[in-house]
Amino acid sequence: MTVKLDGLSPNELQALIAQAQSKMASARAEHIQRVKAKIDALLKASGLQLSDVYAGRAGKRGKRAGAGVPKYRNPADPAQTWTGHGKKPAWFQQALKKSGVTADSLLITQAVSKNASAKKTAKKRAVKKSPRKAAR
C-alpha cells in the first residue's frame, strides 16, 4: 500500500496522520484482544490461572514498595514533597544549606517517628527487665 504524499497540503497530511494513528490504535487494541484470548485458552487448557504462572503479580504492573510515598516536605512550601528516591530537589538542597536543618528535620513523619521510637525503646527496656525479675 503506497500513498503519494508529494501533492498533499499540510492540512491533508495532518488529517492523514490522524487517520493513521486512529487505525494504529484500533489495530493494536484488536491485537491485544487476540493475544489475551490465546493466553486465556492456554491457561484454561492447562488448568492454570495467571497468578500460577506469574506468582505474586496477578496482572499488576511491578512497582517498588513505597515508590511515590513522600518522605520529606519543604518547610517553606508544604505542597513540595520528595520521596527520597532519585535526584534531590533544589528546595531540599537549599534547606540543607541553612544552619540547624538536617535531612531528619525535613522528614514528614518526624514527630510521629520520634514518639514511636521512644515507645519502642521503652517497651524493649520493659521486656528486658521483666525476665530478670522472674528469674530471681
Please write the tens of the pLDDT for every residue from 3-34.
888 888 999 999 999 999 999 999 999 999 99
Q: Is the residue at 61 inside a domain? A: no
How would you write the pLDDT of the chain (136 residues) with one tens digit per residue?
788 888 889 999 999 999 999 999 999 999 999 999 999 999 999 998 888 888 765 555 655 665 678 888 888 888 889 888 889 999 999 988 988 888 888 888 754 445 555 556 666 666 666 555 555 5
Could you tell me where the beta strands, DSSP code E, fall in 40-90?
72-73, 81-82
* 93, 62 Cβ separation under 8 angstroms: no
Identify whether residues 80 and 114 lie together within a single domain.
yes
Q: Is the residue at 90 inside a domain? A: yes
Q: Is the residue at 60 inside a domain? A: no
- Cell numbers representing residue 14 in the block: 495532518
Identify whether residues 39 and 84 lie together within a single domain.
no
Output phi, psi for 82, to 5 deg. -145, 140
- Hey, what amino acid is at 76? A
Identify whether residues 92 and 124 lie together within a single domain.
yes
- Interatomic CA distance for residues 1 and 23, integer angstroms: 14
Identify whether residues 120 and 80 lie together within a single domain.
yes
* 74, 80 Cβ separation under 8 angstroms: yes
Q: Is the residue at 33 inside a domain? A: yes
Identify whether residues 81 and 115 lie together within a single domain.
yes
pLDDT of residue 74: 87
DSSP string, 15-32: HHHHHHHHHHHHHHHHHH
Identify whether residues 14 and 41 lie together within a single domain.
yes
Identify whether residues 42 and 85 lie together within a single domain.
no
Q: Is the residue at 1 inside a domain? A: no
The pTM of this model reads 0.38
| Domain that includes residue 111, residue range | 72-135
